[in-house]
Structures are given as structure tokens and as C-alpha cells.
Homo-oligomer: A and B are copies of this chain.
Amino acid sequence: MQEARKQFFQFLARKKLKFTSQRGLIFDVFWHIKDHVSPEELYNAVKQNDPRVGQATVYRTLKLLCESGIAREVNFGDGVARFEPAFGQSHHDHLICTNCHRSVEVMDPKIEKLQEKLARDHGFTLTGHKLYLFGICPHCREKAR
């Protein structure tokens, strides 16, 4: 059994939540996609495996996945929440093309360090952050010419 799956089950056990086939299925489908999905996209993917699963269950399970550290919510500013695998994935931020809306995962340890320091300087204990860089990707810039 994969590490992530185990972690999710352990989380459920710790919280005294029940292990249902729906939760297992939603985890599997989510984990298999390996990309950002909106709740609706995930719901559609899950339905292909079991059409009887309701979308409320997908929303509920997505919340559990986040709480257990398996998923992470990202928000590109288009009014739709998106979720991506967080467990075992190295942390990263997003560089988003405002033209074609595609995103690239980026990461700079120096920025992370400075964020820590910035928070500390204000007396905060940093628990997380979200950084979105918006710009025009090379592809769109090329096309614009």
C-alpha cells in the first residue's frame, strides 16, 4: 500500500472516522490524477468509477484530504478552488500565465527562507504561505507578436 494511502487511513483512524469505500475511491482517483483538480473535475472522474457517488461526498472528502496533509488547496483567482497532492510532493508555488491560464510549479529556497524571516520579524509563527506569480508565458508572448 502506498505511503500516502496509509497516511490517509491513519488520519481517519486517529480522528475516529470511518473507512468507507467512497473515501477510498476518492482518494485513489485524486491521487492518480497527480495534478490540480477542481472539486467538479474530481467528481466527474470519480463518477466514471462509481456513478453513485454524490458530489457532496467529494467536497467532504476533499476537505479531509486537506486536513490529513494529503491535499493542498490552491487558488488561481478564477473563483474555483483547486486541489493538488501535497503528501510526498516537494513544496512549490505557482507561476500562472494570465493569458492561457496554464501554470508552472516553481520553487526558490531563498524566497522561502526570507518569508520565514519576514514573519519572524513581525512576531508571527509561520504555518504556511501561498505565492502566486502572474505573468505571460513564453508561448503566449510569442503568439502576441
Interface size class of A (residues with CB under 8 A): 20 to 34
Contact A106 B127 (CB under 8 A): no
A83-131 residues at the B interface, CB under 8 angstroms: 95, 97-98, 104, 106, 108, 110-111, 114-115, 118-119, 122-131
Contact A124 B111 (CB under 8 A): no
Q: Is the CB of A95 within 8 A of B77?
A: no
Closest Cβ neighbor of A105 among chain B residues: B122
Pair A119/B131 contact, Cβ less than 8 Å: no
Known: A106-B118, A111-B114, A114-B111. A136 touches B127 (CB 8 A): yes
Residue ranges of A at the interface with B (Cβ–Cβ < 8 Å): 73, 75, 77, 95, 97-98, 104, 106, 108, 110-111, 114-115, 118-119, 122-138, 141
